[in-house]
Chains A and B, each alone.
Chain A
């Protein structure tokens, strides 16, 4: 019994008293961690159709994308300029004339020189005044020549008639102004002049809103105002009648506003503000670019709201690019382009479009002008009115001239040496924090898989730079002409269509040393070189279904002690 407990205690302690070889554990050295981790970084694809749809929806410059019967895309830029409403420029000055008339001769013989008391005689006589005149017109301050008007529809203005009578007798006048017609009836003004020894004056004013100023004298003449005056003459006993007694009428039409003018409208020029149409697909610095578009289309549509035809002189018609190169659009013989005849409307309120296509390469140099990859079309023009003399031409007050310019850029052609260079700040380091410990990384690998169904070749080179702008490494070691073509054009047939996508794999390996250099870089200067087709030599066509697939994956192999990982 006495031995049992010590023995048992010994056994119990035996469970826990096995010798621990602490030194062996202390000397145990874990191997470095050498796992290799990878991840898909980019997996993306995009069709040309998607690009163009976004471009159409979101571009600052409004564009329209269309597809022609050959499935070729067209980017259509439009711009318009228009003249102000014509009443701003085409203006009628005040019309004034004066006419005098006395007692007609047949009446003079009937009347005594002096009217005896208590005799009072009443007689009537009429006179008609035809006044051919040039209606005073000007266009933006310049006199309009060779205008002969038929009528003017008025929506404002005042008629002012001042009648002076030299008779010492009472007069009842009824002026019928046939030149002013409202609701088919001429304007009639009854005017009473009471006798006075010093003559009598009477002024009558009438608003002309709603009147037509008919300048035909109710016939076929132009620029003529007809006024009939009927006079009832009542003598005053004791007063004399002299042969020189007369009636003077000062007739003026002032402050005219019109809404329509009909007749020979004269000669005037409408100058439109300069138009500039951005063509932003080429909106880059393209110093050495060689571009060739297949049949770019430039079209001018003149919308005429005026009932008179006109011709157009272009004071500027040119293309310029981002490098300020400029090519004037001219006829193939080098002469300036003018439009001889822009049609007029037939009815008030209509509009008529005259289309003028600049594109025909047999007549203009538009095709060649696009070789500079222009980013802007510049145009300025003068509309010349008055070459015809038709008395039925017309204009209305709010009529104007509108010019719509359409530049239709077919995505068909070639482009080469489109180069772009920029520097990215990578302050945080290419792989994260610049300056951080990169010793955990044994190697890294960046893999680019391109499946290119676009007819483009994209060359790239990048240079990693440190804070002093010293190049520490480059993106690609082997380049041709300074670029590595990491996107190669799909195979193109004779018609310019991609028949087979190009698949290309590029692997960028970074050993430990190179990884460390790149990791310390704070800037990446990169250059892009863009060519259509294989080297920009083939004309290519863009289809909506062309697809570019990009897959980029990266792997990093670690070699680190557990202490390194902990830190």
Chain B
């Protein structure tokens, strides 16, 4: 049983795709949700309504390693992590649920509105975090455990999006204004942490410059040292669901914008900027600063013995909190969304078949790029399929698939990146993926924009 737990946990960590990077969705403009990644996307239906069940998107990413990299024959050697991890690694997971979405056409203009709940968790970790866990701190004797780059951003927020795009003869324009209302956030800034491990004595010196910000319905104390199990329970009692759902104190704003150009009847280009925005966190905002040097040494036993005092050793965490944490403040703070840039080209190979090239870069701590090629094909007006491959995180092959079925006014869809492992026998050595993303749901669509025989999907 334990073995399965390990395998599943490893799988979870080893599959993924970067935060909200849905490159296959880009190739399915028949879905109104495609405007989330391409604001210039021109829909095929005059009206599209998205319902909360099951319009859901989920993604998980671990850029550091894939499961197969830890497998050697029949052995799961997690010690290999220290070999395969880079200096800067990312675990990211999140989900979006469209509580409601509506898109409709007025002449050559398309208007949209969506209410989407977001939960994002991004955790950037250095190689030494796993090195410490696997090898133990003794292996750093005489050296430094470098935890700089340890960064976390955990947010829940609601998006009210108002979109517009217009289809011109040569140019297409599109954009979305998104009002954001944060529910809860935990995030770090200035996350420089190193731990020097002295030779022989193994004394630890923690050098920290870290600020942890929190905002939530939970009124945490400004002095973390006073937080204990008892008062945490009483604080939790102060929170009710209404605070969480209807909280509008943490507002924010974001924009998506894009432009498309039809070079000729077959070739189109587009460029877009996504998620350029912020959330200002005010509700119970707390700022905890960990700054300075703190030494963890052995027990100062000799004076204690002289004074007949009880010996009491402090843990590293005790010392870190005791010596590094200044009293927290209650300043509001701002977090930025993870913004992305897409540059794409689409070429109409045959009447219902298009090939795509997409370069996507996103910024979390640093720019992270991905290149995708893909093909989409429409089968009559009932089915759209897409197949893609994305290269990123040093992985050349990450296969994505998308499928849209439209029986009547219903439009069922499932789109995901990095499905290749599911298309081949799933064995330890085949789990090479570092990302996984899946969007699944249903829309109600009405009114074709163009007659079937003239249906063209366009790259926006």
Contacts and interface: CB of A to CB of B under 8 A. Distances in A.
Given A37-B136, A44-B302, A566-B2, A28 B74 contact: yes
B6 A562 contact: yes
Interface string B296-317: 1111111100110000010000
Interface in B1-48: 2-4, 6-7
Contacts of A34: 79
B141 A43 contact: no
A16 B422 contact: yes
Given A505-B200, A563-B2, A40 B138 contact: no
A563 B189 CA distance: 38
Interface string A537-567: 0000000000010111111011000110010
A51 B427 contact: no
B267 interface: no
Interface in A23-40: 24-31, 33-40
A447 B7 CA distance: 39
B65 to A, nearest CB: 15
B137 A30 contact: no
A33 B81 CA distance: 13
Given A4-B379, A43-B297, A19 B426 contact: yes
A499 interface: no
B235 interface: no
B75 A28 contact: yes
Contacts of B306: 46, 50-51, 54
A557 B137 CA distance: 11
A11 B415 CA distance: 12
A27 B74 contact: yes
B383 interface: yes
Given A44-B301, A46-B302, A553-B201, A38 B137 contact: yes
B426 A18 contact: yes
Contact of B298 (A4, A35, A37, A44): A44
A197 interface: no
Given A50-B306, A555-B138, A20 B75 contact: no
Contacts, number: 162
A117 interface: no
Contacts of A555: 138, 202
B299 A31 contact: no
A92 to B, nearest CB: 56
A35 B136 contact: yes
Given A35-B133, A40-B204, A15 B416 contact: yes
B423 A449 contact: no
Nearest to B197: A38
B193 interface: no
A552 B298 contact: yes
Given A4-B383, A15-B401, A15-B422, A44 B76 contact: no
A19 B203 contact: no
Given A38-B202, A44-B300, A44-B301, A29 B74 contact: yes
B361 interface: no
In the complex, which range does the number of interface residues on chain A fall in? 35 or more
Interface in B359-399: 379-380, 382-383, 385
A45 interface: yes
B425 A18 contact: yes
Nearest to B132: A35
B200 A447 contact: yes
Q: Is the interface of B mostly helix, strand, loop or mixed?
A: mixed
B352 to A, nearest CB: 13
Contact of A43 (B7, B298, B405): B298
B302 A45 contact: yes
A50 B313 CA distance: 22
B355 interface: no
Nearest to B382: A4
B75 A36 contact: no
A33 to B, nearest CB: 8
B298 A36 contact: no
A1 B78 contact: no
Contacts of A35: 133-136, 139
Interface in A264-314: none
A26 B3 contact: yes
Contacts of A28: 3, 7, 71, 74-76, 428
A4 B380 contact: yes
A8 interface: yes
Contact of A44 (B303, B383, B419): B303
Contacts of B248: none
Contacts of B71: 28
Interface in B428-447: 428-429
Contacts of B204: 40
Nearest to B141: A38
A339 interface: no
B137 A21 contact: no
A40 B202 contact: yes
Interface string B46-75: 000000000000000000000000010011
A430 to B, nearest CB: 16
A12 interface: yes
B383 A8 contact: yes
Contacts of B423: 14-15, 18
Nearest to B203: A40
For A11, A40, A45, which residue has the most chain B Cβ atoms within 10 angstroms?
A40
B332 interface: no
A46 B300 CA distance: 9
Contacts of B414: 12, 15
B201 A562 contact: no
B417 to A, nearest CB: 12
A551 B137 contact: no
Interface string B117-154: 00000000000000001111111010000000000000
Contact of B79 (A14, A31, A562, A566): A31
Given A11-B385, A29-B75, A42 B139 contact: no
Nearest to A40: B298
A24 B429 CA distance: 9
B115 interface: no
A113 interface: no
Contact of B200 (A18, A50, A449): A449
Contacts of A29: 3, 74-76
Contacts of A51: 306
A41 interface: yes
Contacts of B297: 40, 43
A551 B380 contact: no
A42 B302 CA distance: 9
Contact of B296 (A19, A40, A563): A40
For B76, B298, B300, B380, which residue has the most chain A Cβ atoms within 10 angstroms?
B298
B138 A36 contact: yes
A292 B189 CA distance: 66
A28 B419 CA distance: 23
A37 B427 contact: no
B77 interface: yes
B393 to A, nearest CB: 22
A27 B424 CA distance: 19
27 contacts: A1-B382, A4-B380, A4-B383, A15-B416, A18-B422, A18-B424, A24-B74, A24-B429, A25-B3, A25-B4, A29-B74, A35-B139, A36-B138, A36-B139, A37-B138, A39-B137, A40-B198, A40-B201, A42-B298, A42-B301, A43-B299, A44-B299, A44-B300, A44-B301, A46-B302, A50-B306, A558-B136
Q: Ordered nearest first, which 3 A-B pairs have the shortest CB separation?
A: A43-B298, A35-B136, A43-B297
Interface of A: 1, 4-5, 7-8, 11-12, 14-16, 18-21, 24-31, 33-46, 50-51, 54, 447, 449, 505, 548, 550-555, 557-558, 562-563, 566
Given A19-B425, A35-B134, A37-B138, 5 more contacts: A7-B383, A28-B76, A42-B298, A42-B299, A50-B306
Interface of B: 2-4, 6-7, 71, 74-79, 133-139, 141, 198, 200-204, 296-303, 306-307, 313, 379-380, 382-383, 385, 401, 403, 405, 407, 414, 416, 419, 421-429
